[in-house]
Amino acid sequence: MSGFRNDVQKYRAKALRKSMTEAEKRLWQHLRAHRFLGLSVRRQAPIGPYIVDFLIPVHRLVIEADGGRHADAPSDDARDAYLAARGYRVLRLWNTDILTNLPGTLDRIVAELHP
């Protein structure tokens, strides 16, 4: 059954990569292909039952680009707790911040990598 779940997650991740939001696309242009501090960054990466927007594996940092529907969402709290229990840190960025202040957004990611 585990193999089936992995296949479903891979399919869902692939579909999400094809339907990224404008904010995710803009951020991805700066994170992809080792452009961001020479780091490997994965997009729409499966972790357990979840698919995270971006993952910097070497730092165990998850980056979520969130819109208004994520404001105080209980499902996000459960997801963050699941990820934290597995050693991941979650940085939530608002889509509007990504779209209107990309340099500041990238600075926030750098600050999170080097607390």
Q: Where are the domains of the chain?
A: 2-113
- The alpha helices in 19-101, defined as continuous H runs, are 22-31, 74-85, 95-100
| 17, burial (CB in 10 Å: exposed 0-12, middle 13-18, buried 19+) | middle
Residue 5 has pLDDT above 70, yes or no: no
Predicted local distance difference test score (pLDDT) of residue 70 = 47
Cα 105 from Cα 14, distance rounded (Å) = 25
Predicted local distance difference test score (pLDDT) of residue 50 = 93
> Which tens digit of pLDDT belongs to each residue from 62-72?
999 998 654 55
Reported as a pLDDT band with limits 50, 70 and 90, residue 41 is very high
Predicted local distance difference test score (pLDDT) of residue 32 = 96
User: What is the pLDDT of the chain when averaged over all its residues?
Assistant: 88
Residue 96 has pLDDT above 60, yes or no: yes
Q: What are phi and psi of 37, to 5 degrees?
A: 55, 20
Fold of the domain spanning 2-113: Endonuclease; Chain A (3.40.960)
Report which of 80, 87, 99, 81 is spatially closest to residue 26, judged by C-alpha positions: 99
